[in-house]
Amino acid sequence: MPRNKQVLLDNRPQGEATPSNFKLVTTQTPALQDGQVLVKHHFMSLDPYMRGRMNDAKSYAQPQPLGQVMQGGTAGEVVESRSAKFQPGDQVVGMGGWQEYSVVDADKPGMLRRVDTTHVPLSHYLGAVGMPGVTAWYGLVKIIQPKEGETVVVSAASGAVGSALGALAKARGLRAVGIAGGADKCRYVTEELGFDACVDYKQHADAASLSKALKEACPNGIDGYFENVGGMVMDAVMMRMNAFGRIALCGMIAGYDGKPIPMAYPQLLLTNRLMLQGFIVSEHMEVWPEALKELGTLVASGKLRPRESVAVGLESAPEAFLGMLKGRNFGKQLVKLA
């Protein structure tokens, strides 16, 4: 069995996360038991939710345990199997964590999923045709429930969730408006992803200024909003929401360092009779097959062209992760391991 590099959570952040919170170790991979498979990871997913789990605080999921491998999505290849369900060479996705190999109990439902890479690259199963894509699908289809011709806005529009939401919105005849950081990201959102407009939040010092730009991009107001960020961005959007608008609350990256995130205009929830619903996509596994089918078709047909930021080697994971939290990535943040 191969030696295996792993990244552990060594200690919890005090405020902003730093590389010293992580520890790189090398271990011996245990021998397989009946029903288990050995997966060699080719790609590893880095996602904003991981930052929240580094804190020892009450949340929708248990905190990441100290001294254990950082948890997260992986895509790779079965290299050895003692399960009838998987054969060596199978391309699979799972939750192998921040390590080069994982031993998986293949007989447990949902632990490992075989994927077809004929038309969809393996890495996209961690992004557009994986958890981020299904997140966008659920928020749009089940919470926002848009009608043709309505306007939908998404923050972090150039990222894995935002880019998928844009393609899903355009397929439903909606006006799709993104919010992203920087001219290059905004250009990608409109020119490659097909959004109708994109607002660069970095050009605005406060919510009032950003809201004014949103008014120009959304002349008929905002009917649906997919929230990934919180803070000033959410305040600006709230000022432009139409009566009976719907907000799908997916992430609050502005508060992942543990600081409070005040809402400047909570009265607008009442004034405009808004519906705001938070959700965790792993609690809605029943929609995954339908969502993944549509997302896979969008990628295979070229209607969704996701971009990826790829760091190389397990050692690069902590810095790539911290950079993603500051918006330095462009599209889905991955680590290439093989």
Q: Are residues 33 and 123 in the same domain?
A: yes
pLDDT per position as a tens digit, 197-206: 999 999 999 9
Assigned domain for 167 exists: yes
Q: In whole angstroms, what is the distance from residue 237 CA to residue 211 CA? A: 6
What is the average pLDDT value for the chain, to the nearest integer? Answer: 95
More confident of the two residues 167 and 252 = 167
What does the pLDDT read at residue 107? 86
Average pLDDT estimate for 20-35: 97
Average pLDDT estimate for 68-76: 97
Helices (H), the chain: 49-53, 131-138, 160-171, 183-191, 207-217, 232-238, 267-271, 288-300, 317-325
pLDDT per position as a tens digit, 303-329: 999 999 999 999 999 999 999 998 899
256 band by pLDDT with thresholds 50, 70 and 90? confident
Range of the structural domain that residue 26 is part of: 3-127+306-336
pLDDT per position as a tens digit, 223-254: 999 999 999 999 999 999 999 999 999 988 87
Q: Are residues 252 and 316 in the same domain?
A: no
Q: Give the domain CATH number at 9.
A: 3.90.180.10
Least confident of 46-50, 176-180, 255-259, 281-285: 255-259
For helices 160-171 and 288-300, the axis angle rounded to 10 degrees is 80
Assigned domain for 227 exists: yes
Q: Are residues 189 and 260 in the same domain?
A: yes
What total number of domains does the chain contain? 2
More confident of the two residues 52 and 102 = 102
State percent of the chain over pLDDT 90. Answer: 89
